[in-house]
Each structure stands twice: as structure tokens, then as C-alpha cells.
Amino acid sequence: MKILRIKAIVQKELIQIRRDPLSLAMAFAMPAMLLFIFGYAITLDVNRLTTIVYDRDRSSTSRELVDALVASGYFTVVRSAEDGRELDDYLDSGRARVAVSIPEHFSLDIRTKKTAPLQVIVDGSDSNTATIVLGYMTVFTNLFSERLGNVKITPLIDPRVRVWYNPELKSQHFIIPGLIAVIMVVIAALLTSLTIAREWERGTMEQLIATPVKPAELILGKLIPYFLIGFIDVAVSVLMATALFGVPLRGSLFLLALLSGIFLFGGLGLGIVISVVAKSQLVASQISMVVTFLPAFLLSGFMFAISNMPVPLQFMTRIIPARYYVTVVKGIFLKGSTIRFLTTEALFLTAFAAFVFAVANRKFKKKIV
């Protein structure tokens, strides 16, 4: 391998990237934009739920209940219903996701120390939200009962639950680091997937493969510039996560940089493999979206816990690089994980990088057909 040749390719690629506004935008603006959009769009926190209230009691107690409901911040009353039909109507049309129906003798029951029923209907088509609403409601009615009865109910067991790593249970804290990993998996492959296909399409490859350049030199020469870009992308994403989204970075920045570097080598290498096989930019970009985006989004543990998946799927996640990189970024950000806890991930990412490089090197033929 000759450094001189690799250097020539690196310089040529850098010039071409610089002169092409589209690839420049894709390289630098896209990751930041995706993080910005998804970072705000994907939130699993439930608040300000649209709620319709049907108060048949019309007493001071029932009004107090509704006020307390609103004051909790989780519910927004969009309508006070005149009759029962309206509840159905609002839930069916999606104008409300929660319906609270207070029966006629609500305050009377409470005064006479009978247990007063309170009907709550939740839109279960979003089961995640529904589950959370059920939890809220249980806690809310307990607290409200205590307030009305002015008695403290002593439970038999007093659980002291503490939440580690994300004590405020902010879903953004858990989503953003995973999101960085997913975006980088997709971007890395996309960046390089076009480079070799482009040369085949434009005919410049024919000249290049008639020279003594070696496949490994060509691959490295094309990897290095995108490695620099990918690294800047990671840095910008990490900066955005901490400065914009307020996600704490508890672990070592150096470890994050090191493992990101190893990951990038594999991710970019995968793009090269795709580019070598596809020989057309359109096909290459489509393949790279399919093989990176879907697994990274669904099977990496970024959104859906791997331990909840059916066993065959769990096995599948083990060959997906995104899974390991998601663990790395999440771990270093939220848990402050050290290399001791990330050895498997580091080893897999290294092996993956070596594997794709070997495949690219083998698959790239200096022949026309």
C-alpha cells in the first residue's frame, strides 16, 4: 500500500465534496437537522391530555375535582359535556383522549361516607398513553380522597422507588443519545454509499481502474475524508444533545470519541460495500437506507427494549451494529459507563469494521464487468 496514492485520493475527494453543495449539505446539515427534528418530535412524556368532563353532580366537590385534575398539568379540559352522547362523540372523533364522567350523587356519596364511583374512559388506541393515564388516575384519586377525607391512609408497604440514570424520567434524556447513534448509523452508510457508484456512473472509474491503484488504497482514500466528516457530525450531535436538549454527559468524552471512531469505520465501510455492489447511485442510496435505517430504528433497542422482543428477533439484534453503538452512546451519556461495561460493544464494533473492510476489499474488482 502506498501512502502517496491514498493521499492523492483523499485530497481529490475533499476537493469534490467541497465543490458539491448537495453532498456538503448532506454531510454536515442533515445529521444536525434530523437530531433537531426527531429530538423534539419523539417524546414519550404524556402531558396536557385532551379531556372531556361530564359533570352530572354540579357540586362544589365535583368542581374541586375537575380543578385539581387540571392543576396536575397532565390534563387539559377541552369541553364540559352537556350529555352523555358528547363523551362518545369526542372520544370517537379524537377530540378528546380521556373522558371523565362524574355521577349525579358524587358529592352526596362522599358526604355519607359511601365510596363514590368516578367513571374514566381512556382512548386505548394509543396503549402507551392509556397505561400512563391509568397510573396517573389511580394516584390522582388516592391523593384527592386523602384531601377530602382529611385522613392519611397508612399503607402496609411503603415502597421507596428510586430511578437511576434518568431520575426525572425525561424521555428526551433516553431518546437523544440513542437517536444520535441511529442517525449516525444511517448517515455513515449514506455518505460513502454514493462515492464509488458515482465514479462508475460518471465513467471516471474506468480510468482509475486502469492504473496501478490497489482496492485497499481506493477504499481507504475514500473512507478517510468521510471519517473526518462523520467525526465532526458526532461532535456536533453531542454538543447539541448537551447544550440544546440538556442531556447530561456523565461518562468519558474520550471513550465516546474512541468508540464512535471505531463505529464510524464500520458504518462508512458498509456504505463502501454497498457502493461497490450497486454501481449506481440511486440503487446504492436505497440499499443503504433499507439496511441501516430499519434495523437501527426498530432492532437497536433505541425505542423498543430488546428484552421485550420475541427470542428470534432478540438474536437478530445481535448482528446489528446499531444495537452496539446505541448501547455505547446511551451508556456513556446516561450511565457514565466505562470501557469495562462496554467491552462487548467495543469488540463487536471493531470486528464489524474489520469485516466490512475485508468484504469491500474483496468485492471491489478492477474490471469493467
Partner 1 sequence: MKDEIAVYVKSLTRTFGDFTAVDHIDLEVSKGEIFGFLGPNGAGKSTTIKMLCGLLLPSGGSGTVGGYDIIGQSEEIKKTIGYMSQKFSLYDDLTVVENINFYSGIYSVPDSRKDERKKWVLSMAGLEDKKGFLTKTLPGGFKQRLALGCAVLHEPPILFLDEPTSGVDPISRRNFWTMIYEMSQAGTTVFVTTHYMDEADYCDRLGLIYRGRIIAEGTPNELKMKYMTRDVLEIDADRTVDALDVLNRNNIESAIFGSVLHATVENAAAAEPLIRRHLGGAGITVRQIEKIVPTLEDVFVTLIEVS
Residues making contact with partner 1 (CB under 8 A)? 2, 4-5, 7-9, 11-12, 15-16, 19-20, 202-213, 366-369
Pick the closer one to partner 1 by CB: 4 or 311. 4
Min separation Cβ 223 and partner 1, Å: 17
How far is 205 from 216, CA to CA, in rounded Å? Answer: 15
Pick the closer one to partner 1 by CB: 103 or 215. 215
Min separation Cβ 352 and partner 1, Å: 29
Question: Amino acid letter at 339?
Answer: I
The residues near 200 (Cβ < 8 Å, ≥ 6 apart) are 279, 280
Pick the closer one to partner 1 by CB: 215 or 248. 215
Pick the closer one to partner 1 by CB: 166 or 280. 280
Pick the closer one to partner 1 by CB: 17 or 299. 17
Specify the DSSP class assigned to residue 116. P
**Distinct helix (H) and strand (E) counts, the chain:** 15, 4
- Residue closest to 27 by CA, chosen among 155, 193, 196: 193
How far is 33 from 29, CA to CA, in rounded Å? Answer: 6
**Backbone angles phi and psi of 170, in degrees to 5:** -80, 125
How far is 322 from 270, CA to CA, in rounded Å? Answer: 12
Min separation Cβ 204 and partner 1, Å: 5
**Pairing of β 98-102 and β 49-55:** parallel
Min separation Cβ 200 and partner 1, Å: 11
> In this structure, are residues 8 and 221 in contact, taking their beta carbons and an 8 Å threshold?
yes
How far is 325 from 180, CA to CA, in rounded Å? Answer: 10
Positive or negative, the CA dihedral 26, 28, 31, 35 is negative
> In this structure, are residues 222 and 364 in contact, taking their beta carbons and an 8 Å threshold?
no
Pick the closer one to partner 1 by CB: 213 or 303. 213
Min separation Cβ 17 and partner 1, Å: 10
Pick the closer one to partner 1 by CB: 203 or 310. 203
How far is 204 from 124, CA to CA, in rounded Å? Answer: 58
Strand partners, 98: 51, 122
Min separation Cβ 209 and partner 1, Å: 6
Pick the closer one to partner 1 by CB: 340 or 367. 367
The shares of helix, strand and coil residues in the chain, as percent rounded to the nearest 5, are: 65, 5, 25
> In this structure, are residues 53 and 66 in contact, taking their beta carbons and an 8 Å threshold?
yes
Min separation Cβ 225 and partner 1, Å: 14
Min separation Cβ 91 and partner 1, Å: 59
